[in-house]
Amino acid sequence: MSKNTDSAQYQQLEGVLSAAFNQASAGKGKERHAEEGEPFEKQQICEIARRLKGHPAAGPLFQAVKKIYESGRLPGQRGIDELLGAIVYISAAVILMEEEKNKQEAIENGR
């Protein structure tokens, strides 16, 4: 990837991207999502998305799975809070899947 020599108009973006990289490689992202020595493309953020590809409730289920993993890495109440958050996301997934089921039933019944 070549670097644009006229990048002054992108300085603010560069700062944001640098901060995001630092969070993923050294901050919360590394603390919560990475196993020791695990490359980014093998971490939960990519693996969960691959496994949920095409699922009608992929968004909330992705968040739930992430929170479930995180709950085991966080002590005490913080871990419990992550599990409660996962329940909320799973509840949203149930609602979305029920909506989808009802739409399909309406189509099949000609409504």
pLDDT in tens, 75-108: 999 999 999 999 999 999 999 999 999 999 999 9
In a domain, 74, yes or no: yes
Closest CA to 62 of 39, 83, 93: 93
Residue tagged 């085991």 (tokens) = 72
Q: What is the mean pLDDT of residues 19-39?
A: 78
The fraction of the chain above a pLDDT of 70, given in percent, is: 88
User: Does 73 have pLDDT greater than 80?
Assistant: yes
* Number of domains present in the structure of the chain: 1
Q: Which H or E run contains 47?
A: helix 44-51
Q: Tell me what the mean pLDDT of segment 43-70 comes to.
A: 93
pTM for the structure as a whole: 0.70
Q: Is the pLDDT of residue 33 over 70?
A: no
> Do the domain assignments include residue 18?
yes
Q: Is residue 67 domain-resident?
A: yes
Q: Is 4 within a domain?
A: no
Is the pLDDT score of 31 beyond 70? no
Residue 2 counted as domain residue: no
Domain that holds residue 45: 10-108
CB atoms within 10 A of CB 45: 15
Please check whether residue 5 lies inside any domain of the structure: no
Query: Is position 1 within any domain?
Result: no
